[in-house]
Amino acid sequence: MLHSAGPLLTVHLGDRETAETDITEVQERYIGGRGVGTRLAHERIPFDADPLGPENRAVFTTGPMQASQMSFTGRTNCTAVSPLTDGLLSSNAGGFMSRHLAATGYGAVELAGESDELVVVHVRDDGVEFEPVPDLREATVPETTAYLETEHDISSDRTAVIGPAGENEVRFASIMTTEERAFGRGGLGAVLGAKNVKAVTFGGESAPDLEIPATANEIHREAATTDHIMKEQGTVAVLDLANEMDGLPSYYFSERSFEGADGINGDRVAEKKYKKGTCSACAFACKLPTRDEERGVETEGPEFEVAMAFGSNSGVDDIVDVMESNRLCDEYGLDAISMGNTVAAYLDAEDEFGNRELIWDLVEKTAYREGVGDTLAEGIGRIHDELGVGNWSVKNMDFAAHEGRLLHGQALSYAVANRGADHMYATFYSVEYPLVDEDEAMPPAGFEGKAERLVERENLMALNDSGVVCKFSRDFMTPERYELLFDADFEDLLAVGARTVTLERHFNNRRGIDGADDRLPYEDELPGLDDAIADYYDRRGWNDDGTVPASALPA
């Protein structure tokens, strides 16, 4: 089985020391990326670690496909205990950092402990440097990347940076790379902030020499030559479909369609797109560099989730307003989905839907934990009672845009996913709209056959995250191609994903998270959900209460 190569580098922040560990056995069993990150975290982070304490560790990993030049491979994984969900969580970001991390020669880089002063950690194949940066205290992401470029000739595509939100331990703070790509959901930026790490940079000339099959060239060629709406509109291309199906969360989830959808849809984004945008080595080029000349707003996006959170869910029908919200989140280092939804909760409480100036003020206040921003920085799951609004979260992770009251398999995924109401954990929405071929589609209503399918999709997404292969490769990756690329039977590859999901669940069980947390705020509207959850547990080999028995725990 093809897998990542290179030792684990542990960076001890407190005493400024490093250590290397051979992790070949882990890589052979978990491939790389999320799988390796999860296995290492399960072994090396205490089950009772405070997410914002020195016992937590942030593990950056790549996969074997970062040794190729195949499209859909410009992504990097980071794993830690989440300050938002309180469980083990992996997030991955696109951009150009993945191959610079691979070039260090390390298969994983782990940040342990905490620094007594704000530092940038420079990781290269010839050593690690700790640079005190007191003058960067609460600097924005662009200010930090500008410093690294000016002082060290380190471009933004070699960096993982936090903004003020991370330093102020906002529970949904992001780690940013290439300035506008985010390790978004779950608050891993706050983990770095708690460790007093402003940025990590990567570089070298020691990338592993892995033999990648010619299939990679075929996929790259098809990605370059295939017409696809995402190349023009990104994921926001699905907004009109969701709205027409009565599945676009609006006005803090109180409605499911938005009368202003035409102002924030894919056509509006395409009108503002001014050049192609992509990730490292990817010819699919689905990113969205956007600009509004009249108002001087420039950003990347918004994607569908952000158009929902800062658009329909906040009562905003102007794409340039959403672009500005997106830009501010990137600048301050905030997960734009959670920030937008949390803003929407406040707007609901104050009857201020559509107030764009208030929205932008709340984003800034949250990043710096000023005034009401100190409350909002805790996230919906912790503050909904104080605001007097509903708790639209699962395991404290607020909902993505794909509406579970319409797409019942996606609802099931939200309920049981180890990282809460995140759409990318299984991307079940794709088979229910559907965005896949007819023979792979399932009806949106009902749960028949969906627990079995959900297990398969979670395993496949965990495999992609371990590879590391972008989930938007779904139209190009087939079981046969997985087998050729990774030199293994497809079922054996899916088993890697299954082991990863089970390890995450077991870690979270040890932290007190179990089936009682696999609940939805609208479950009364979904007859059959409890049976589907029970079916899911059974197919995973877990106990009836959503815990992992010793017999199911991977060796």
pLDDT tens per residue, range 225-256: 999 999 999 999 999 999 999 999 999 999 99
pLDDT tens per residue, range 308-358: 999 999 999 999 999 999 999 999 999 999 999 999 999 999 999 999 999
pLDDT tens per residue, range 466-517: 999 999 999 999 999 999 999 999 999 999 999 999 999 999 999 999 999 9
pLDDT tens per residue, range 52-89: 999 999 999 999 999 999 999 999 999 999 999 999 99
The pLDDT score that the predictor gives to residue 136 is 98
SS percent in the chain: helix, strand, coil, step 5: 45, 15, 40
Q: How far apart are CA 161 and CA 357, in angstroms?
A: 27
Contact criterion met (CB below 8 Å) for 420 and 90: no
pLDDT tens per residue, range 261-306: 999 999 999 999 999 999 999 999 999 999 999 999 999 999 999 9
The pLDDT score that the predictor gives to residue 387 is 98
pLDDT band at 528; cut points 50, 70, 90 = very high
Q: What distance separates the 2 farthest-apart alpha carbons in the chain?
A: 62
pLDDT tens per residue, range 7-45: 999 999 999 999 999 999 999 999 999 999 999 999 999
The pLDDT score that the predictor gives to residue 1 is 96
Counting every residue, how long is the chain?
A: 555
> If you average pLDDT over residues 103-131, what whole number do you get?
98
pLDDT band at 526; cut points 50, 70, 90 = very high
The pLDDT score that the predictor gives to residue 147 is 98
Q: How far apart are CA 435 and CA 445, in angstroms?
A: 16
Contact criterion met (CB below 8 Å) for 382 and 345: no
Query: pTM of the entire structure?
Result: 0.97
The pLDDT score that the predictor gives to residue 91 is 98
214 contact partners, CB below 8 Å, separation of at least 6 = none
List of domains in the chain: 8-203 (3.60.9.10), 227-389 (1.10.569.10), 408-552 (1.10.599.10)
Average pLDDT, the chain: 97
User: Among residues 253, 238, 229, which one has the least CA distance to residue 347?
Assistant: 253
pLDDT tens per residue, range 450-470: 999 999 999 999 999 999 999
Q: Nearest 5°: CA angle at 336, between 267 and 177?
A: 100
Residue 307 DSSP class: I
27 contact partners, CB below 8 Å, separation of at least 6 = 3, 4, 5, 36, 107
The answer to whether residue 221 scores a pLDDT higher than 90 is yes
The encoded tokens of residue 92 equal 């991955």
pLDDT tens per residue, range 158-172: 999 999 999 999 999
Q: How far apart are CA 174 and CA 183, in angstroms?
A: 6
For the chain, what percent of residues have pLDDT higher than 70? Answer: 100
Q: Report the SS3 class of residue 20.
A: strand
The pLDDT score that the predictor gives to residue 50 is 98
> If you average pLDDT over residues 351-366, what whole number do you get?
98
pLDDT band at 555; cut points 50, 70, 90 = confident
User: Among residues 348, 338, 337, 268, which one has the least CA distance to residue 314?
Assistant: 348
Q: Is 369 left (phi over 0), alpha (psi -120 to 50) or beta?
A: left
